[in-house]
Structure 1
Protein backbone atom coordinates (compact mmCIF):
# COMPACT_ATOMS: atom_id res chain seq x y z
CA UNK A 1 0.00 0.00 0.00
CA UNK A 2 1.19 3.52 -0.74
CA UNK A 3 1.64 6.30 1.80
CA UNK A 4 -1.73 7.81 0.95
CA UNK A 5 -3.75 4.59 1.13
CA UNK A 6 -4.41 4.61 -2.60
CA UNK A 7 -4.80 0.84 -2.75
CA UNK A 8 -6.91 0.70 0.42
CA UNK A 9 -9.27 3.59 -0.33
CA UNK A 10 -11.10 4.49 -3.53
CA UNK A 11 -13.31 7.54 -3.28
CA UNK A 12 -14.82 6.72 -6.66
CA UNK A 13 -16.68 3.88 -4.88
CA UNK A 14 -19.90 4.94 -3.14
CA UNK A 15 -19.13 2.98 0.03
CA UNK A 16 -15.65 4.44 0.51
CA UNK A 17 -15.44 6.31 3.84
CA UNK A 18 -13.17 8.91 2.28
CA UNK A 19 -16.31 10.36 0.68
CA UNK A 20 -17.55 11.36 4.13
CA UNK A 21 -14.23 13.08 4.79
CA UNK A 22 -14.42 14.82 1.42
CA UNK A 23 -17.94 16.01 2.24
CA UNK A 24 -16.69 17.46 5.52
CA UNK A 25 -13.58 19.19 4.21
CA UNK A 26 -15.22 20.47 1.02
CA UNK A 27 -17.98 22.15 3.02
CA UNK A 28 -17.70 25.93 2.93
CA UNK A 29 -18.45 26.27 6.65
CA UNK A 30 -15.69 23.80 7.52
CA UNK A 31 -13.23 25.74 5.40
CA UNK A 32 -14.25 29.04 6.98
CA UNK A 33 -13.90 27.60 10.50
CA UNK A 34 -10.46 26.22 9.61
CA UNK A 35 -9.38 29.62 8.30
CA UNK A 36 -10.74 31.35 11.41
CA UNK A 37 -8.92 29.02 13.78
CA UNK A 38 -5.63 28.73 11.91
CA UNK A 39 -3.94 31.41 13.95
CA UNK A 40 -5.82 31.44 17.26
CA UNK A 41 -8.21 29.75 19.65
CA UNK A 42 -11.72 31.23 19.60
CA UNK A 43 -14.96 31.02 21.53
CA UNK A 44 -18.18 30.11 19.70
CA UNK A 45 -19.41 33.70 19.64
CA UNK A 46 -16.08 34.89 18.22
CA UNK A 47 -16.25 32.28 15.47
CA UNK A 48 -19.81 33.23 14.64
CA UNK A 49 -18.96 36.92 14.39
CA UNK A 50 -15.95 36.19 12.14
CA UNK A 51 -17.92 34.03 9.71
CA UNK A 52 -20.61 36.19 8.16
CA UNK A 53 -23.80 34.38 7.24
CA UNK A 54 -23.38 31.26 9.37
CA UNK A 55 -26.33 30.45 11.62
CA UNK A 56 -25.88 29.26 15.18
CA UNK A 57 -27.29 25.86 14.20
CA UNK A 58 -24.97 25.45 11.20
CA UNK A 59 -21.90 26.52 13.16
CA UNK A 60 -22.80 24.09 15.95
CA UNK A 61 -23.25 21.23 13.45
CA UNK A 62 -20.01 22.11 11.67
CA UNK A 63 -17.98 22.26 14.89
CA UNK A 64 -19.42 18.95 16.12
CA UNK A 65 -18.56 17.25 12.86
CA UNK A 66 -15.07 18.73 12.84
CA UNK A 67 -14.56 17.65 16.44
CA UNK A 68 -15.74 14.11 15.65
CA UNK A 69 -13.32 13.92 12.72
CA UNK A 70 -10.45 15.14 14.89
CA UNK A 71 -9.94 18.54 13.24
CA UNK A 72 -11.05 20.69 16.18
CA UNK A 73 -10.46 20.52 19.91
CA UNK A 74 -13.34 21.75 22.08
CA UNK A 75 -12.24 22.87 25.54
CA UNK A 76 -14.80 23.62 28.27
CA UNK A 77 -13.88 25.80 31.24
CA UNK A 78 -16.02 25.57 34.43
CA UNK A 79 -16.86 29.25 34.64
CA UNK A 80 -20.24 30.90 35.14
CA UNK A 81 -21.45 30.92 32.45
CA UNK A 82 -19.44 28.05 31.00
CA UNK A 83 -16.66 29.12 28.61
CA UNK A 84 -16.06 26.94 25.54
CA UNK A 85 -13.11 27.45 23.23
CA UNK A 86 -12.24 25.86 19.91
CA UNK A 87 -8.81 25.30 18.43
CA UNK A 88 -7.33 23.26 15.62
CA UNK A 89 -5.75 19.91 16.39
CA UNK A 90 -2.58 18.79 14.64
CA UNK A 91 -4.82 17.13 12.05
CA UNK A 92 -6.76 20.36 11.65
CA UNK A 93 -3.51 22.32 11.30
CA UNK A 94 -2.42 20.01 8.50
CA UNK A 95 -5.77 20.54 6.76
CA UNK A 96 -5.39 24.31 7.21
CA UNK A 97 -2.33 24.19 4.95
CA UNK A 98 -4.41 22.67 2.17
CA UNK A 99 -7.26 25.13 2.77
CA UNK A 100 -4.74 27.96 2.49
CA UNK A 101 -3.65 26.66 -0.92
CA UNK A 102 -7.30 26.53 -2.05
CA UNK A 103 -7.91 30.05 -0.75
CA UNK A 104 -4.87 31.32 -2.65
CA UNK A 105 -6.03 29.55 -5.81
CA UNK A 106 -9.54 31.06 -5.49
CA UNK A 107 -8.18 34.58 -4.89
CA UNK A 108 -5.76 34.23 -7.79
CA UNK A 109 -8.38 32.97 -10.25
CA UNK A 110 -11.49 34.91 -9.22
CA UNK A 111 -11.22 37.37 -12.12
CA UNK A 112 -11.00 34.53 -14.66
CA UNK A 113 -13.98 32.80 -13.03
CA UNK A 114 -16.03 36.00 -13.09
CA UNK A 115 -15.15 36.47 -16.78
CA UNK A 116 -16.14 32.87 -17.55
CA UNK A 117 -19.47 33.36 -15.77
CA UNK A 118 -20.20 36.53 -17.76
CA UNK A 119 -19.35 34.76 -21.03
CA UNK A 120 -21.52 31.79 -20.08
CA UNK A 121 -24.44 34.04 -19.17
CA UNK A 122 -24.10 35.97 -22.43
CA UNK A 123 -24.04 32.69 -24.39
CA UNK A 124 -26.98 31.10 -22.61
CA UNK A 125 -29.18 34.20 -22.73
CA UNK A 126 -29.10 34.10 -26.54
CA UNK A 127 -29.92 30.38 -26.75
CA UNK A 128 -33.54 29.27 -26.95
CA UNK A 129 -34.85 27.75 -23.73
CA UNK A 130 -35.77 24.06 -23.54
CA UNK A 131 -39.44 25.02 -23.47
CA UNK A 132 -39.04 27.14 -26.63
CA UNK A 133 -37.28 24.25 -28.35
CA UNK A 134 -40.10 21.84 -27.41
CA UNK A 135 -42.76 24.27 -28.61
CA UNK A 136 -40.90 24.82 -31.90
CA UNK A 137 -40.43 21.10 -32.49
Structure 2
Protein backbone atom coordinates (compact mmCIF):
# COMPACT_ATOMS: atom_id res chain seq x y z
CA UNK A 1 0.00 0.00 0.00
CA UNK A 2 2.74 2.46 0.82
CA UNK A 3 4.15 1.86 -2.66
CA UNK A 4 0.84 3.02 -4.23
CA UNK A 5 0.93 6.21 -2.19
CA UNK A 6 4.50 6.97 -3.16
CA UNK A 7 3.84 6.50 -6.90
CA UNK A 8 0.71 8.65 -6.97
CA UNK A 9 1.44 12.26 -7.91
CA UNK A 10 -0.54 14.77 -5.87
CA UNK A 11 -1.09 18.24 -7.31
CA UNK A 12 -3.51 20.45 -9.22
CA UNK A 13 -6.53 18.35 -10.26
CA UNK A 14 -5.08 15.31 -8.48
CA UNK A 15 -6.20 15.39 -4.85
CA UNK A 16 -5.06 12.75 -2.40
CA UNK A 17 -7.17 9.62 -2.64
CA UNK A 18 -8.13 9.87 1.02
CA UNK A 19 -9.83 13.25 0.51
CA UNK A 20 -11.81 12.41 -2.63
CA UNK A 21 -15.58 11.93 -2.52
CA UNK A 22 -16.56 8.36 -1.81
CA UNK A 23 -18.72 6.55 -4.36
CA UNK A 24 -22.32 7.73 -4.08
CA UNK A 25 -21.36 10.78 -2.02
CA UNK A 26 -22.35 14.16 -3.38
CA UNK A 27 -20.09 17.18 -3.51
CA UNK A 28 -23.05 19.35 -2.55
CA UNK A 29 -25.08 17.32 -0.10
CA UNK A 30 -27.40 20.22 0.75
CA UNK A 31 -28.01 21.12 -2.91
CA UNK A 32 -31.21 20.76 -4.89
CA UNK A 33 -33.07 17.64 -3.74
CA UNK A 34 -33.76 14.96 -6.31
CA UNK A 35 -37.22 15.20 -7.81
CA UNK A 36 -37.69 18.87 -7.03
CA UNK A 37 -39.46 20.74 -9.80
CA UNK A 38 -38.82 24.10 -11.38
CA UNK A 39 -41.34 26.75 -12.37
CA UNK A 40 -41.44 25.74 -16.05
CA UNK A 41 -42.33 22.14 -15.17
CA UNK A 42 -45.09 23.26 -12.81
CA UNK A 43 -46.44 25.71 -15.39
CA UNK A 44 -46.55 23.03 -18.08
CA UNK A 45 -48.44 20.70 -15.76
CA UNK A 46 -50.96 23.37 -14.76
CA UNK A 47 -51.63 24.35 -18.38
CA UNK A 48 -52.03 20.73 -19.48
CA UNK A 49 -54.46 19.86 -16.67
CA UNK A 50 -57.95 19.01 -17.94
CA UNK A 51 -60.97 20.95 -16.76
CA UNK A 52 -64.65 20.94 -17.61
CA UNK A 53 -66.04 23.89 -19.57
CA UNK A 54 -69.65 24.46 -20.62
CA UNK A 55 -69.79 25.21 -24.32
CA UNK A 56 -73.22 25.77 -25.89
CA UNK A 57 -74.80 24.30 -22.77
CA UNK A 58 -72.81 21.05 -22.97
CA UNK A 59 -69.90 20.13 -20.70
CA UNK A 60 -66.61 19.56 -22.49
CA UNK A 61 -63.16 18.66 -21.12
CA UNK A 62 -60.34 20.90 -22.35
CA UNK A 63 -56.86 21.81 -21.12
CA UNK A 64 -56.49 24.78 -18.79
CA UNK A 65 -54.50 26.53 -21.51
CA UNK A 66 -57.32 26.12 -24.01
CA UNK A 67 -59.88 27.24 -21.42
CA UNK A 68 -57.87 30.40 -20.72
CA UNK A 69 -57.72 31.18 -24.44
CA UNK A 70 -61.45 30.58 -24.78
CA UNK A 71 -62.08 32.98 -21.88
CA UNK A 72 -59.81 35.58 -23.47
CA UNK A 73 -61.70 35.22 -26.75
CA UNK A 74 -65.02 35.59 -24.93
CA UNK A 75 -63.91 38.76 -23.15
CA UNK A 76 -62.50 40.22 -26.38
CA UNK A 77 -65.77 39.57 -28.23
CA UNK A 78 -67.73 41.18 -25.38
CA UNK A 79 -65.84 44.42 -25.94
CA UNK A 80 -63.03 44.39 -23.35
CA UNK A 81 -60.31 46.40 -25.06
CA UNK A 82 -57.39 44.93 -23.10
CA UNK A 83 -58.50 41.37 -23.87
CA UNK A 84 -58.97 42.23 -27.54
CA UNK A 85 -55.54 43.85 -27.69
CA UNK A 86 -53.90 40.83 -26.04
CA UNK A 87 -55.68 38.35 -28.30
CA UNK A 88 -54.72 40.27 -31.43
CA UNK A 89 -51.08 40.56 -30.35
CA UNK A 90 -50.97 36.80 -29.68
CA UNK A 91 -52.50 36.14 -33.10
CA UNK A 92 -49.94 38.46 -34.71
CA UNK A 93 -47.05 36.65 -32.99
CA UNK A 94 -48.43 33.31 -34.13
CA UNK A 95 -48.79 34.57 -37.68
CA UNK A 96 -45.18 35.78 -37.69
CA UNK A 97 -44.00 32.39 -36.39
CA UNK A 98 -45.92 30.56 -39.12
CA UNK A 99 -44.50 32.89 -41.77
CA UNK A 100 -40.94 32.25 -40.53
CA UNK A 101 -41.50 28.48 -40.60
CA UNK A 102 -42.85 28.63 -44.17
CA UNK A 103 -39.85 30.65 -45.34
CA UNK A 104 -37.49 28.04 -43.88
CA UNK A 105 -39.13 25.21 -45.80
CA UNK A 106 -39.02 26.65 -49.32
CA UNK A 107 -35.86 26.43 -51.42
CA UNK A 108 -34.98 28.97 -54.06
CA UNK A 109 -34.65 27.80 -57.67
CA UNK A 110 -30.85 28.14 -57.41
CA UNK A 111 -30.82 25.86 -54.38
CA UNK A 112 -32.97 23.31 -56.19
CA UNK A 113 -30.53 23.37 -59.15
CA UNK A 114 -27.58 22.81 -56.83
CA UNK A 115 -29.30 19.85 -55.17
CA UNK A 116 -30.18 18.30 -58.53
CA UNK A 117 -26.58 18.59 -59.75
CA UNK A 118 -25.36 17.05 -56.50
CA UNK A 119 -27.71 14.09 -56.87
CA UNK A 120 -26.73 13.60 -60.53
CA UNK A 121 -23.00 13.66 -59.76
CA UNK A 122 -23.38 11.13 -56.97
CA UNK A 123 -25.64 8.92 -59.07
CA UNK A 124 -23.00 8.82 -61.82
CA UNK A 125 -20.23 8.18 -59.28
CA UNK A 126 -22.11 5.33 -57.62
CA UNK A 127 -22.97 3.71 -60.95
CA UNK A 128 -19.30 3.96 -61.99
CA UNK A 129 -18.28 2.24 -58.76
CA UNK A 130 -20.85 -0.48 -59.39
CA UNK A 131 -19.45 -1.13 -62.87
CA UNK A 132 -15.84 -1.25 -61.66
CA UNK A 133 -16.78 -3.68 -58.88
CA UNK A 134 -18.65 -5.92 -61.33
CA UNK A 135 -15.72 -6.21 -63.81
TM-score class, shorter-chain normalisation, is: under 0.3
Higher Cα Rg: structure 1 or 2? Answer: 2
Which structure is richer in relative contact order (CA contacts within 8 A, separation 6 or more)?
1
TM-score w.r.t. the length of structure 2 is: 0.25
